[in-house]
């Protein structure tokens, strides 16, 4: 499964590298990363096929050791950083991860401790959105910034908050879960967390699909490319494509989404006074339709002293590489 992208030159032989691990529900991808943010070598194992956390980490540690050995880098690895769903940065554990059979239980699996034992390298982990924030700071749009917020717009909405150069993790290890701040207090949409009106029920791939269904139900006579989709549920890609084609309803869906995001951002800005909010993930590709409504809602709602001062920017990291890069940034 190894995929050696390039061969090391002589000059590279004394450099330091880190390992970035992107743990998903199905597979775990990992790579050897240099200081500039190039992934030199990579490999992957299954996440799902193991029955205990110990078995998983044994397999992962062995695969990492093999990748390092194949490339003769045993003495040049500084450490391992992992992006882990529901990962707790404070103690390096995973628990209550609904999509991973061996990590479903509330009893935490000691991921970083087990991985250090297996590989001998210092290991850290954090959740996906925090990893994205670290990646932006180390290699991406936030290089040189000390105060910024990364918002990941995927199936759900994640937040990574950096203040004075430090990732905010909080006492419990889960600070910055911005998908679950309340965006709509009254008659809000029900959320997987058991509450109502959470930001991610509106501003995420699943959120915009819910908006599309609601808008069409409210006004079934309305002409839209989206009303032609009858044999399967409408998804965020359909809405994006319809908006690109000039469909008014699709454009309104993004305006509605952007307004809710911008109103929330106005509050986030008051908390940490960031220099920028960086948008990352699949839905951020709809930037053409989202950015202006976001900026307008911020300007309409933010404290005067912040007006015009906070940049809203798109991630520069390549989607396919960002998760490994973000995780690797923890290890420098
Ligand atoms: Zn929620």
For the segment 209-236, what is each residue's pLDDT rounded down to a tens digit? 999 999 999 999 999 999 999 999 999 9
- Centre of ligand 1 to C-alpha 265, Å, is 17
Nearest 5°: the CA angle 160, 163, 166 is 80
Question: Are 148 and 275 within 8 A, CB to CB?
Answer: yes
Q: What is the pTM of this model?
A: 0.88
- Centre of ligand 1 to C-alpha 154, Å, is 15
- Centre of ligand 1 to C-alpha 43, Å, is 34
pLDDT grade for 86, boundaries at 50, 70 and 90: confident
Q: Does one domain contain both 86 and 197?
A: no
Tell me, what's the pLDDT at 122? 98
| 118, 123, 127, 128 alpha-carbon torsion, rounded to 10° | -90
- Centre of ligand 1 to C-alpha 167, Å, is 22
Q: Does one domain contain both 238 and 308?
A: yes
Distance CA 315, CA 277 (A): 10
- Centre of ligand 1 to C-alpha 172, Å, is 17
Q: Does one domain contain both 96 and 165?
A: no
- Centre of ligand 1 to C-alpha 176, Å, is 13
pLDDT at 2 over 50: no
- Centre of ligand 1 to C-alpha 189, Å, is 9
- Centre of ligand 1 to C-alpha 173, Å, is 17
- Centre of ligand 1 to C-alpha 41, Å, is 37
Q: Does one domain contain both 149 and 206?
A: yes
Q: How far is CA 156 from the centre of its chain?
A: 9
Tell me, what's the pLDDT at 282? 83
Sequence-distant (6+) residues with CB within 8 A of 247 are 224, 225, 226
| 237 three-state secondary structure | helix
pLDDT tens-digit map of 139-170: 999 999 999 999 999 888 999 999 999 999 99
- Centre of ligand 1 to C-alpha 192, Å, is 6
Strand blocks (E) in the chain: 3-4, 17-23, 27-33, 39-46, 77-83, 87-88, 93-94, 123-126, 148-153, 157-163, 166-167, 276-280, 311-314
Q: Does one domain contain both 206 and 254?
A: yes
Distance CA 312, CA 212 (A): 25
What one-character DSSP code corresponds to residue 195?
-
The strand pairing partners of 148, in sequence order, are 162, 276
Question: Are 136 and 149 within 8 A, CB to CB?
Answer: no
- Centre of ligand 1 to C-alpha 193, Å, is 4
Domain range for residue 212? 144-314
Distance CA 19, CA 39 (A): 9
Order of all β-strands in the sheet with 148-153: 166-167, 157-163, 148-153, 276-280, 311-314
- Centre of ligand 1 to C-alpha 70, Å, is 44
Q: Does one domain contain both 106 and 216?
A: no
pLDDT tens-digit map of 244-259: 999 999 999 999 999 9
pLDDT tens-digit map of 275-287: 999 999 888 888 8
Q: Does one domain contain both 306 and 174?
A: yes
- Centre of ligand 1 to C-alpha 122, Å, is 33
Question: Are 281 and 235 within 8 A, CB to CB?
Answer: no
- Centre of ligand 1 to C-alpha 9, Å, is 49
Q: Does one domain contain both 309 and 212?
A: yes
Q: Does one domain contain both 156 and 129?
A: no
Count of structural domains, the chain: 2
Q: Does one domain contain both 126 and 229?
A: no
Q: Does one domain contain both 251 and 299?
A: yes
- Centre of ligand 1 to C-alpha 293, Å, is 23
Range of lowest pLDDT (34-38, 97-101, 112-116, 325-329): 97-101
CATH number for the domain harbouring residue 209 = 3.30.420.40
Strand blocks (E) in 246-315: 276-280, 311-314
Q: Does one domain contain both 166 and 120?
A: no
Distance CA 85, CA 96 (A): 9
- The tokens 């193991």 sit on which residue? 50
């Amino acid at each position: 499964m190894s995929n050696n992208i390039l061969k090391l030159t002589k000059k590279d032989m004394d450099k330091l590298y880190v390992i970035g691990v992107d743990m998903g529900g199905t597979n775990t991808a990992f790579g050897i990363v240099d200081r500039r943010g190039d992934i030199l070598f990579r490999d992957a194992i299954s996440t799902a096929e193991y029955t205990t956390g110990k078995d998983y980490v044994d397999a992962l540690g062995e695969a990492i050791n093999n990748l390092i050995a194949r490339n003769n880098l045993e003495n040049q690895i500084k450490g391992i950083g992992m992006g882990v769903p529901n990962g707790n940065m404070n103690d390096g554990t995973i628990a209550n991860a609904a999509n991973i059979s061996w990590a479903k239980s509330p009893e935490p699996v000691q991921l970083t401790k087990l991985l250090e034992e297996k590989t001998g390298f210092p290991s850290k982990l954090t959740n996906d959105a925090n990893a994205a924030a670290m990646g932006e700071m180390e290699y991406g749009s936030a290089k040189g910034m000390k105060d910024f917020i990364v918002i990941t717009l995927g199936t759900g909405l994640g937040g990574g908050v950096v203040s004075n150069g430090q990732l905010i993790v909080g006492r419990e290890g889960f600070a910055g879960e911005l998908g679950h701040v309340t965006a709509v207090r009254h008659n809000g949409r029900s959320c997987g967390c058991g509450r109502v009106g959470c930001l991610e029920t509106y501003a995420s791939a699943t959120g915009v699909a819910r908006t599309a269904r609601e808008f069409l139900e409210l006004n079934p006579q309305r002409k839209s490319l989206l009303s032609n989709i009858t044999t399967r549920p409408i998804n965020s890609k359909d809405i994006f494509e319809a908006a690109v084609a000039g469909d008014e309803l699709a454009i309104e869906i993004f305006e509605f989404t952007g307004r809710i995001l911008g109103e929330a951002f106005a509050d986030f800005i008051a908390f940490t006074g960031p220099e920028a909010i960086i948008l990352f993930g699949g839905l951020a590709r709809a930037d053409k339709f989202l950015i202006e409504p976001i900026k307008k809602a911020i300007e309409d709602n933010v404290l005067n002293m912040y007006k015009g001062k906070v940049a809203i920017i798109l991630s520069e990291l390549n989607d396919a590489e960002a998760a490994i890069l973000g995780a690797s940034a923890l290890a420098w």
